[in-house]
Every structure is written in C-alpha cells, then in structure tokens.
Amino acid sequence: MAQRSSTAQKRSSSRKKTRAGSRRTVKRVTDELPQTLKQFSRSVSSRLTALERQIERAEARYRRKFTRLLRKASHELGQLEAKGEREWRKLTTKGRQETAALLRKLEKAVEPPKKQRKRKTSSRSKPQAESNGSGI
C-alpha cells in the first residue's frame, strides 16, 4: 500500500481535531443547561429582566447624552446667529457706504460739465487811451 502524503495526513488530523473540539463544546453547553424546562424558563426569564433593566439604563444614559448634545448645539447655533447678525450689520453698513460712494461717482460722471466763465482780461494789463477829461 502506498503511503499518504504529508498534506493528506495534515488534513485528516485537522478534521479529527475539529470534530473533537466541536464535541467538547456541545458537551459543555449541554452540561450548562438546566435539567428541566421549568428551570431553563426561570433562568432565561431572569436574564431577560436583567437585560431589560440594563437597556433602560442605557437608554436613559443616551437620552441624557443626546439632550446635552442638543442643548450644546442649540447654544452654539445661537452664538453663530448672533455673530452672523453682527457681521451682517457690518457688511450692510460697509455695503451702504460703498454704494453711496459709487452713486456719488456716477452722479459726477453723468452730471453735465459746469460752464466755465471766460475770464475778462484785466483792464490793468491793457493800456488805455488817456482821457483829457473832455469826454470827446
């Protein structure tokens, strides 16, 4: 007969270990189970009651945590709104000033140019004919 290869031996030994391990697990679980259904029912019922209490405590804890986070978020939102309002006022004030300056520039650009007076040459600069008082 031919000898088994080493990989075949490893496979068969791992199967045996797996079967033995699962048998031990099943035996341990069956040993832990109560002998009667009534005992099992009481055990499960008490565990369920304890679990319900634990869930209620956890719910209360998370409700408090959620409420605290909600309150904090609301407070921060109020601060942001107040800051935003101040910034908005600054922007609108600055915007109004810039708009007014721009309108002044536009008015000056559209406004017809002022008529410039022609300057009369001063009489002092031109020599006048001498008058002898006769008026003629």
- The tens place of each residue's pLDDT in the chain, 136 residues long, gives 455 566 655 566 666 666 677 788 888 877 777 778 888 888 889 999 999 999 999 999 999 998 998 899 888 888 888 888 888 788 788 888 888 888 888 888 877 777 776 666 665 555 555 555 555 5
| pTM exceeds 0.75 for this model | no
Give residue 55's domain range: 24-109
Is 50 among the domain residues? yes
Is 127 among the domain residues? no
E strand intervals along the chain? none
Distance of alpha carbon 111 from alpha carbon 48, whole angstroms: 89
Give me the number of domains the chain comprises.
Answer: 1
Alpha helix stretches (DSSP H) within 1-127? 6-32, 37-110
